[in-house]
Amino acid sequence: MITKDELFKTGNKERIWQKYCGFLDLSVTDFMELQEQLLMDHIDLVYNSPLAKQFMSKKPKDVSEFRKLVPLTTYNDYAPYLNEKNDDALATKPYCWARTSGRGGTPKWIPYTEKAAEILGRCGIAAIILACANKKGEVNIGNGVRALHNMPPIPYVSGILLQTIAQQMDTHLMPPLDYDNQDFADRIRVGFGMALRDGVDVLSSLSSVLIAMGDRFAEGSGQLKLNRHMLHPQIMWRLLTAWLNSKRDDRTILPKDIWHLKGILAYGMDTDIYRDKLIYYWGKKPLVTYGAAESGPIATPAWNKKGMTFFPLSSFREFIPEEEWLKSRENKNYQPSTILLDEVKPGERYEVIITNFYGMPLLRYRIGDLIRVVTLEDQETGIKLPQIVFESRADDLIDIAGFPRLDEKTIWQAMVNTGIRYEEWSARKEKVGEEPVVRLYVELKQEIEVKELERLIHQELATINQDYRDLEKMIGVRPLRVTLLPAGSFQRYYEERKRSGADLAHMKPPHMNASDTVIQNLLNYAQDKWERIS
> Mean pLDDT, 10 residues at a time, over the chain (534 residues)?
94 97 98 98 97 95 97 96 95 94 76 98 98 98 95 91 97 89 79 92 93 86 57 82 88 93 92 93 96 95 97 98 91 94 97 98 96 97 97 83 78 94 94 88 95 95 87 79 93 88 80 91 75 45
**pTM check: above 0.95:** no
Helices 450-464 and 408-418: angle between axes, nearest 10 degrees: 120
- Among 46, 31, 14, CA closest to 364: 46
Kindly list the distances between the CA atom of residue 166 and the CA atoms of 95, 98, 380, in Å, as whole numbers in the listed order. 16, 17, 32
Question: Rounded to whole angstroms, how far apart are CA atoms 254 and 127?
Answer: 26
* Virtual torsion, Cα 527, 528, 529, 534, nearest 10 deg: 80
Q: Are 141 and 201 in contact (CB under 8 A)?
A: yes
Q: What pLDDT is attached to residue 229?
A: 61
Measured distance CA(44)–CA(37) in Å, rounded: 11
Q: What is the pLDDT of residue 105?
A: 60
CATH number of 397-533: 3.30.300.30
- DSSP-derived secondary structure letter, 267: E
What's the pLDDT score for residue 534? Answer: 40
> What pLDDT is attached to residue 532?
46
- For 247-402, list the strands marked E by DSSP: 263-267, 286-287, 290-292, 296-301, 308-310, 315-321, 349-356, 365-375, 387-393, 398-399
Residue 510: closest CA among 527, 529, 524, 497: 497
Q: What is the pLDDT of residue 64?
A: 97
Long-range (24+ apart) CB contacts under 8 A made by 401-406 are 401/436, 401/471, 401/475, 401/477, 403/467, 403/470, 403/471, 404/465, 404/466, 404/467, 404/468, 404/470, 404/471, 405/467, 406/438, 406/461, 406/465, 406/468
DSSP 22: G
Radius of gyration for the chain, computed over Cα atoms and rounded to the nearest angstrom: 24
- As a 3-state breakdown, the chain gives helix, strand, coil percent values, each rounded to 5, of 45, 20, 35
- The H or E element spanning position 406 is strand 405-406
Rounded to whole angstroms, how far apart are CA atoms 291 and 423? 28
**By the 8 A CB rule, do 164 and 138 touch?**
no
Q: DSSP labels for 145-163?
A: EEEEE----TTBHHHHHHH
Report the C-alpha gap between 132 and 89 in whole angstroms.
Answer: 41
- Determine contact, residues 203/191, Cβ cutoff 8 Å: no
Give the list of residues 6+ apart from residue 526 with CB closer than 8 angstroms, or none. Answer: 485, 486, 489, 492
In terms of Cα–Cα distance, which of 527, 530, 369 is closest to 519? 527
Give the CB-side neighbour count of residue 528, counting CA atoms within 13 A.
Answer: 12
